[in-house]
A and B are shown apart, each in its own frame.
Chain A
Amino acid sequence: MSRQLKGLGEEAGGAVRGSSRSGSPGTDDRSERRLSRKQAPKAEGAAGRRGALPGQKEQARGSPRAGSPRRKQVESRRHREELGVQERSTVERTREGRRKRNGRTSLKEQRTPPKKEKEVSKKETQKQRKKHRLPSLASSTSGGESLSEEELAKILEQVEEKKKLITTMRNKPWPMAKKLTELREAQEFVEKYEGALGKGKGKRLYAYRMQMTKKWIKFKRDFDNFKNQCIPWEMKIKDIESHFGSSVASYFIFLRWMYGVNLVLFGLIFGLVIIPEVLMGMPYGSIPRKTVPRAEEEKAMDFSVLWDFEGYMKYSALFYGYYNDQRTIGWLRYRLPMAYFMVGISVFGYSLMIVIRSMASNTQGSTSDGESDNFTFSFKMFTSWDYLIGNSETADNKYASITTSFKESIVDEQESSKEENIHLTRFLRVLANFLIICCLCGSGYLIYFVVKRSQEFSKMQNVSWYERNEVEIVMSLLGMFCPPLFETIAALENYHPRIGLKWQLGRIFALFLGNLYTFLLALMDDVHLKLSNEETIKNITHWTLFNYYNSSGWNESVPRPPLHPADVPRGSCWETAVGIEFMRLTVSDMLVTYITILLGDFLRACFVRFMNYCWCWDLEAGFPSYAEFDISGNVLGLIFNQGMIWMGSFYAPGLVGVNVLRLLTSMYFQCWAVMSSNVPHERVFKASRSNNFYMGLLLLVLFLSLLPVAYTIMSLPPSFDCGPFSGKNRMYDVIQETVENDFPTFLGKVFAFLANPGLIIPAILLMFLAIYYLNSVSKSLSRANAQLRKKIQALREVEKSHKSVKGRATARDSEDTAKDSSKNATQLQLTKAGTMPHSASQIQTLDMKAPGPGTSSSTSRTALPTSRHLLVSRPPSNRPDSGQARPQTHAGRSASRKSTQRPSH
């Protein structure tokens, strides 16, 4: 053992000791011993097993030895064992000495040796590559005085390799015991040698860096552990998954994801807008916009009023109108209007980013779907069982659906085009689409009508509860009853269920979207009406104030007390009105969802369950039965709800808070409902494909909800007496104001320059060009991909046809030979030749695996010179069938096999 290496080891051990996993004292000498031990049996193993390259090995070890490999093998092994013992003993001695010096021994050290022996012996059989290298390393360490550059590089390489092995250990298809030993070995190796790397002064640094890396890895792992623990509802979702398969669970995972997104939005809005306003803004009742008007005051605390988000609710920090247009608030001089605007924008920015990011990560995981028609049956066979299923009922359904799908594909395969009455189908489809468009238009008109009517109601006094909430009720009812109606109509169309589902989703989407936009349009009408009235109200306010301060009959010397804020006449504040509409819509939507679940699912389940004992027919199997969980409807509902949140959050900052509550309760409530009163789907849909589809819908909705908000911000003047932007011409003026007043003039100039159309238009053009370029690149790549796929396909086809031609040739061949022998043999050959490829391969299989009947063949194999085609040309004893014509067939077949042998074999 070279002193130098030991020195290195000591140093490394000293540096690493504190952190290393087996941080016992004596790491250095342990590993030293390991090395010496390893080298002996390892070289022996390699030599013993391979028996071909002992000379090379030995040269590498530094003790040249020649001789015929086979004969000397045993001898050399014995010799080497002796050598190993010798080495071991010397090391033992040195270790004893060191131990005495150190004055302490570690328990582990004493425990390890037998295990190590085992490891080493295992390693012999496992790691070939390492074996080749280690002896040379050992020779260098034992023989040489110092580590040369080359050896260092070698060690470094090995260390890197080991490290890679450690990180990829979990990906190895080995049993755990092997993984554990390999891991331990690799770790010890790394621990030992990484300290020896680096030269001179670099050594300490290297060791230190290694230590830091190790700590960093450990920290990362702990952090990951912690992060995993923070994921909520894991067990709940797992439960659902095992009961209903992955598709239903995917809804809940989506819900959880949505909850996370909303939590972030909530943090953003509450942290940067609502809490500063509550803490530092002017208190309630200080100015008109923060005070309930005199006329509403007496009823402002009634529950019915609060429930409609009027009264005190309306004049609270939950809504836009409450915020003051003061540029800075509090001692922090917090610029609230600016913050309000920026948060409103960043809500959209964050949502866009997160949706697109998750979409991108979804697409990265999935493979192209153009492949699926190549492997219809294979995919059905190997991927149709959902291993997540842990519920017998679901399993039954899954079995049934798999059987059906197999039968369907068999039928498809047998007669790919079954002609029905195509005209009738077409007619029915057109009719169905017509009906559905009628439904959509009708629902759109109904909403428009209702919103218009509600504007009239809002002008009237003492309207009933129904009249106040008509819009929300009608919209919820439409959302509740239209989808089943669509489904009924869709039954006319007779589509394949998967295509049918897409149509159904598209229609529901169109319905929701139409409803939402009609609602928005009607709302916009209302806003415009309010805006046109604003001027007069503004005049009235001015006039009132003017009259109040200048009226006679007051002592001129004493200044009048300011008018009480509750008495000041004020505008309608359309922003708050919009916010309230969205708030009410969200709440009523939530209530309708819960009530639907309670009535439609839970009560139905109770009824079916308990009335089944005393009913004329079987309720559970017959008509009402239990409800299935409506995945697409629920997901779409969630998506549209989120759209409303995005739209409304600018005018009602509290909306996100309400939504967080909604999602939280809905998580628990729906989990409970689905477990208690739903049954698994009869057709279990795949969830994985539609995941991105839902995300795409979400993105579309996000974009569509961005439009109206952007429109109102950009082109409508804010109300003159409420909200953070009052008094400005447009809401975005707040940015200009901030730039002008708070930033240095230089920056102001830069901003002005950046906002120059001359710069913006080229920038947009550039972006377009970039998009165009990237798009064309991706297109060409995908085209190349498709081409390659086609090529592979063509190759397969060619191979197949080649094979069949070969098969026919073989048939003819064998026919000829058989003709010579006898006529009945020819008959036999004909029948056999048809099935030849399979039978040949089966024989091959038999030959490969069966040792019993293969004994005779193995003897013949040794006798015959050609080893390659032996598989086929075997003695006839293995063939259970076929009559007397066997020798001939073999000749013919082996010839044909020879010609069919492809280089790939």
Chain B
Amino acid sequence: MGNKQTVFTHEQLEAYQDCTFFTRKEIMRLFYRYQDLAPQLVPLDYTNCPDVKVPYELIGSMPELKDNPFRQRIAQVFSEDGDGHMTLDNFLDMFSVMSEMAPRDLKAYYAFKIYDFNEDDYICMWDLEQTVTKLTRGELSAEEVSLVCEKVLDEADGDHDGRLSLDDFQNMILRAPDFLSTFHIRI
């Protein structure tokens, strides 16, 4: 369409548009953001899909993420090997899920993964404690934390197995009035 960019082929861009919630322009913007993170690492030509990863230290220092208590989890969830180092595809994935247009279900799925700290596919007591500690920067006492966690389990644990499964979590989060507006990163 007259764009002078040579980073991606036309087909790549189309495919990315099919796979993410972004427009062509936004994809290009995201790419340049990604490239800016590590200019010496990321090539300006992606037509032959180079295998490049930007380390977590750089990803986590993005202004969009640097103040987020869950940034490490986010990076881990979206990276391929769970180590937080991201390829461009992971990067696009992350912001696509976090974008405004992503549907509730998708967001809920990834939110579950983010809050599942030990990655056992259940949010257990320990995960909840981690979450509370991160959210309050450890300002709550141990009793308060455990009280809160018990309350959460009490409220949301539909099958009473003492931990939240994905179903429990989705059931709860889909009713949250603020979930869509807060689980969202604008880039």
- A residues engaging B (CB < 8 A)? 21-22, 166, 169-173, 175-177, 179-180, 183-184, 221-222, 224-225, 228-229, 238, 241-242, 246, 365-369, 371-372, 374-392, 394-395, 399, 402-403, 406-407, 410, 413, 686-689, 796, 799-800, 803, 837-838, 840-842, 844-845, 848-849, 904-905
B152 contacts partner chain A, Cβ-Cβ < 8 Å:
yes
Q: Are A837 and B89 in contact (CB under 8 A)?
A: no
B172 contacts partner chain A, Cβ-Cβ < 8 Å:
yes
CA gap between A460 and B13 in the complex, in Å: 72
Q: Which of B6-26 contact A (CB under 8 A)?
A: 11, 14-15, 17-21, 23-26
B52 contacts partner chain A, Cβ-Cβ < 8 Å:
no
B83 contacts partner chain A, Cβ-Cβ < 8 Å:
no
Q: Which of B126-165 contact A (CB under 8 A)?
A: 128, 131-132, 135-137, 139-140, 144, 147-148, 151-152, 155-156, 158-163
B40 contacts partner chain A, Cβ-Cβ < 8 Å:
no
Q: Are B120 and A845 in contact (CB under 8 A)?
A: yes
B5 contacts partner chain A, Cβ-Cβ < 8 Å:
no
* Partner pick for B172 among A171, A378, A845, CB 8 A cutoff: A378
B75 contacts partner chain A, Cβ-Cβ < 8 Å:
no
CA gap between A417 and B129 in the complex, in Å: 28
Which residues of chain A come closer than 8 Å to B32, judged between CB atoms? none
CA gap between A803 and B158 in the complex, in Å: 12
CA gap between A368 and B177 in the complex, in Å: 8
B contact residues, total (Cβ < 8 Å)? 80
Would you give 14 A-B contacts (Cβ < 8 Å), ordered by A?
A: A171-B103, A241-B186, A376-B151, A377-B155, A380-B148, A384-B178, A385-B182, A389-B67, A392-B66, A399-B139, A403-B135, A410-B144, A686-B178, A689-B178
Q: Are B182 and A905 in contact (CB under 8 A)?
A: no
Nearest B-chain residue to A803, judged by Cβ: B160
B42 contacts partner chain A, Cβ-Cβ < 8 Å:
no
CA gap between A241 and B155 in the complex, in Å: 32
Q: Are A173 and B67 in contact (CB under 8 A)?
A: no
Q: Are B178 and A170 in contact (CB under 8 A)?
A: no
CA gap between A699 and B187 in the complex, in Å: 32
Write the nearest CB–CB distance from A295 to chain B, whole angstroms.
Answer: 59
Q: Are B90 and A175 in contact (CB under 8 A)?
A: yes
Q: Identify 8 new A-B residue pairs, CB closer than 8 A, beyond the known A382-B131, A849-B120.
A: A171-B105, A176-B90, A375-B155, A378-B172, A383-B182, A384-B178, A385-B70, A687-B181
Given contacts A384-B182, A390-B64, contact A844 B177 (CB under 8 A): no
Closest 6 CB pairs of A and B: A841-B162, A176-B89, A395-B67, A377-B151, A688-B181, A371-B175
Which residues of chain A come closer than 8 Å to B80, judged between CB atoms? 175, 177
B115 contacts partner chain A, Cβ-Cβ < 8 Å:
yes
Q: Are A382 and B111 in contact (CB under 8 A)?
A: yes
Q: Are A390 and B66 in contact (CB under 8 A)?
A: yes
CA gap between A840 and B148 in the complex, in Å: 21
B76 contacts partner chain A, Cβ-Cβ < 8 Å:
no
CA gap between A170 and B103 in the complex, in Å: 10
B185 contacts partner chain A, Cβ-Cβ < 8 Å:
yes
Q: Are A183 and B18 in contact (CB under 8 A)?
A: yes
B44 contacts partner chain A, Cβ-Cβ < 8 Å:
no
Q: Are A169 and B19 in contact (CB under 8 A)?
A: yes
Given contacts A383-B179, A390-B67, A399-B137, contact A378 B152 (CB under 8 A): yes
B59 contacts partner chain A, Cβ-Cβ < 8 Å:
no
Write the nearest CB–CB distance from B165 to chain A, whole angstroms.
Answer: 11
Q: Are A384 and B19 in contact (CB under 8 A)?
A: no
Given contacts A221-B17, A374-B155, A799-B160, contact A407 B25 (CB under 8 A): no
CA gap between A166 and B65 in the complex, in Å: 31
- B residues engaging A (CB < 8 A)? 1, 11, 14-15, 17-21, 23-26, 63-70, 80, 89-90, 92-93, 96-98, 102-103, 105-106, 109-111, 115, 118, 120, 122, 124-125, 128, 131-132, 135-137, 139-140, 144, 147-148, 151-152, 155-156, 158-163, 169, 172-187
Nearest A-chain residue to B12, judged by Cβ: A180
Q: Are B182 and A171 in contact (CB under 8 A)?
A: no
Given contacts A383-B179, A386-B182, contact A406 B136 (CB under 8 A): yes
Q: Are A225 and B24 in contact (CB under 8 A)?
A: yes
Q: Are A225 and B25 in contact (CB under 8 A)?
A: yes
CA gap between A201 and B115 in the complex, in Å: 57
Q: Are A228 and B135 in contact (CB under 8 A)?
A: no
Which residues of chain B come closer than 8 Å to A399, judged between CB atoms? 69, 135-137, 139
* Partner pick for B177 among A171, A367, A394, A905, CB 8 A cutoff: A367
Which residues of chain B come closer than 8 Å to A407, judged between CB atoms? 140, 144
Write the nearest CB–CB distance from B7 to chain A, whole angstroms.
Answer: 16
Given contacts A21-B11, A175-B80, contact A403 B139 (CB under 8 A): yes
Q: Are A377 and B152 in contact (CB under 8 A)?
A: yes
Which residues of chain A come closer than 8 Å to B96, judged between CB atoms? 170
CA gap between A841 and B44 in the complex, in Å: 51
Which residues of chain A come closer than 8 Å to B65, judged between CB atoms? 390
* Partner pick for A242 among B64, B103, B180, CB 8 A cutoff: B64
Which residues of chain A come closer than 8 Å to B103, judged between CB atoms? 171
Of B115, B160, B173, the most chain A CB neighbours within 10 A belong to B160
Q: Are B182 and A246 in contact (CB under 8 A)?
A: yes
Which residues of chain A come closer than 8 Å to B120, judged between CB atoms? 845, 848-849
Given contacts A171-B103, A378-B156, A385-B182, contact A406 B132 (CB under 8 A): yes
Given contacts A378-B155, A390-B64, contact A176 B160 (CB under 8 A): no
Given contacts A170-B96, A179-B19, A389-B67, contact A382 B172 (CB under 8 A): yes
Nearest A-chain residue to B80, judged by Cβ: A175
Write the nearest CB–CB distance from A350 to chain B, whole angstroms.
Answer: 26
CA gap between A672 and B137 in the complex, in Å: 32
Nearest A-chain residue to B97, judged by Cβ: A173
CA gap between A383 and B184 in the complex, in Å: 11
Write the nearest CB–CB distance from B96 to chain A, whole angstroms.
Answer: 7
